[in-house]
Structure 1
Amino acid sequence: MAEQGQSDIQAVSRMAQMLGLFGPEAPELSVSEATERLRLNRTTVHRYLTSMTAAGLLERGGQPASYTPGSLMIQLGAFAIGQRRVIQLAPDHLRELTERTGVTSVLSLWGPSGPVVSLVEEDAVHGTIVTVRVGSQLPLETAQAIAFLAYLPDQLQVDRLLASLPAAQRAGLVERIETTRTTGLSIYPANRRGISVIAAPVFADSGVCATIAAIGTDRMLPSAPDARTAVAARETAMALTREMGGTWPGPESHPSE
């Protein structure tokens, strides 16, 4: 088992080395070039490049025995760039949303199995603050998770995540997902602690990339979709979507307007 683990680690390390050979000056790489630069056996290099091509990490290049970054690498790269960019653009939008609503504003990114809180803007004016820690992994029943699940491009992943839940809970989440697709808002009315959340998705050109949420007590945060805070959350998400070069799914106006 230990030998197998060391072998797996070495395989990952070698794949990383090979992927690191690509760049603006080297968009295409031949087996000979990789062999020379990595100082590995040609057969070993060829085996790795062939396996990485089968996995979608690489594609065949225009020249014989050459390779270029594959569709999976391009997809992951675009996703990483989008996440970094939305983190850079979001603070001003969160600050404006908090000023408009008087409640905490949150930006979350999609993690391995749900949203992860990435930015938090707390209201410094009012004495009562409802907040959440950066880095918190949010459960699937939360408003921000529903906002993601409604628009994630990989619906097979959505189905797998929902399948892990009890049937009654799953049915309730499916209904909330459909409501979010209709209104552009994911609303979680007050829980047993009196905390409400209103979330809206943010889109880049590659699809949903984040969610923006307003968090407060049930008195601070009316949960009606046409309430002032709900409209502000949706408008903030739409404004950030425009900056991200994304497209809002549907007319850019509140259903009540």
Structure 2
Amino acid sequence: MTESSPKRADAPQGDIQAVTRASQILELFRPDRPALTVPEAAASLGLNRTTTHRYFATLVSAGLLERSRDGAAFVPGGLLVQLGAFALGRRAVVDLAPPHLVALARSSRLSSALSLWGASGPVVARVEEDNSNPVVVSVRIGHQLPVDSAQSKVYLAFMADQLRAERLMASLAGSERRKLVESVDRARETGLASTHIVDSDITAVGAPIFDESGICATMAIIGTARTLPVDTPGPAWRDLAGTAYELSKELGGEHHFPEDFAALL
């Protein structure tokens, strides 16, 4: 079989072929075929059984496959189940968020945005603008937010891998890093974080969106220092907090909010 994706010039061809073979094996699992034997996979892919068995053994070691209860076949492993649940959770929040974002933009008279964690920071997935204002402050869908943005601070406060959070915060130096650490600590206590870009006078306040497993997205309102003051929590902050809580409740994650968050509802 030929590979469907281009090869990296700096990657060994054997490594690329191994990844391709692994993906081909995993693609054989379907709702009508939840378990798979080595002979079945070998026949489907045109491989000999010894080679196919080596691939299966490696996938089992990696947690991508595991033995069925009777030991005669293989089924998707714990890691695949975990990744599948995570992917479904991300899709669920994107599907459920739009009406909440619309209501938040209308009540706050500000732009609202939903972001998902990307490679190294939140990436804007949905934006709703308040059309009643002649001047709109917004953010581009697909934009990865910087580490000191309001939504990044919220993610850093609640993400499961706190060692990774510390490494990301270490990308800043000196006073900027100290300010970021302080903001993240406050976000962990209150559930909200803010930022003010002085040069453009743009402000933002972010809140976490939780599902059953923990933080799955962040939500923010965006304005200017006049329309969205960030020094003192105001009505727009409460609108954001209430919206984040309601969306999290739909996802079964409202219990993850810190105690101090209730004061804003």
TM-score band w.r.t. shorter chain: over 0.9
Moved more, 32-41 or 178-187: 32-41
| Match of residue 223 from structure 1 | 230
- Compared with structure 1, are the counterparts of its residues 97 and 54 closer, same or farther at alpha carbon in structure 2 (3 Å cutoff)? same
Could you give the per-residue CA deviations for residues 78-110 of structure 1, whole angstroms, max 9, x where no partner exists? 111111111111110011001111110000000
- The alpha-carbon deviation at position 52 of structure 1 amounts to 1.5
Moved more, 152-161 or 39-48: 152-161
- Compared with structure 1, are the counterparts of its residues 176 and 3 closer, same or farther at alpha carbon in structure 2 (3 Å cutoff)? closer
| Match of residue 248 from structure 2 | 241
| Correspondence list, 1:181-220, <5 A | 181-220=188-227
Counterpart-to-counterpart distance in 2, 1:249 and 1:4: 44
- The alpha-carbon deviation at position 190 of structure 1 amounts to 4.8
- The alpha-carbon deviation at position 221 of structure 1 amounts to 0.4
Counterpart-to-counterpart distance in 1, 2:85 and 2:174: 35
Moved more, 148-157 or 222-231: 222-231
Question: Aligned AA for 1:151?
Answer: F
Q: What percentage of aligned pairs have identical amino acids?
A: 45
- Structure 2 stretches of 5 or more lacking a match? 1-7
Please state if 1:176 is matched with 2:203.
no
Counterpart-to-counterpart distance in 2, 1:209 and 1:196: 23
The TM-score with structure 1 as length reference comes to 0.92
Could you give the per-residue CA deviations for residues 162-205 of structure 1, whole angstroms, max 9, x where no partner exists? 23332443332221111011111011135221111000000111
Counterpart-to-counterpart distance in 1, 2:31 and 2:224: 51
Query: Aligned to 2:18, which of 5, 11, 17?
Result: 11
- The alpha-carbon deviation at position 65 of structure 1 amounts to 5.3
- Compared with structure 1, are the counterparts of its residues 190 and 137 closer, same or farther at alpha carbon in structure 2 (3 Å cutoff)? closer
| Match of residue 21 from structure 1 | 28
Contact 1:226/1:254, CA 8 A, preserved across alignment = no
- The alpha-carbon deviation at position 256 of structure 1 amounts to 5.9
SS of corresponding position for 1:219: coil
- Structure 1 stretches of 5 or more lacking a match? none
Contact 1:59/1:69, CA 8 A, preserved across alignment = yes
| Correspondence list, 1:30-179, <5 A | 30-64=37-71, 66-179=73-186
Contact 1:231/1:254, CA 8 A, preserved across alignment = no
| Match of residue 258 from structure 2 | 250
Question: Aligned AA for 1:53?
Answer: V
- The alpha-carbon deviation at position 55 of structure 1 amounts to 1.7
Moved more, 213-222 or 225-234: 225-234
Moved more, 38-47 or 143-152: 38-47
Question: Aligned AA for 1:250?
Answer: P
Question: Aligned AA for 1:89?
Answer: L
Counterpart-to-counterpart distance in 1, 2:262 and 2:217: 20
Contact 2:107/2:239, CA 8 A, preserved across alignment = yes
Cα RMSD (Å): 2.1
Contact 2:105/2:111, CA 8 A, preserved across alignment = yes
Contact 1:225/1:231, CA 8 A, preserved across alignment = no
Moved more, 48-57 or 227-236: 48-57
Question: Aligned AA for 2:21?
Answer: R
Could you give the per-residue CA deviations for residues 55-78 of structure 1, whole angstroms, max 9, x where no partner exists? 222223223353221222112111
Counterpart-to-counterpart distance in 1, 2:149 and 2:162: 18
Contact 1:185/1:199, CA 8 A, preserved across alignment = yes
The alignment of Structure 1 onto Structure 2 pairs a total of residues equal to 257
| Match of residue 3 from structure 2 | none
The TM-score with structure 2 as length reference comes to 0.89
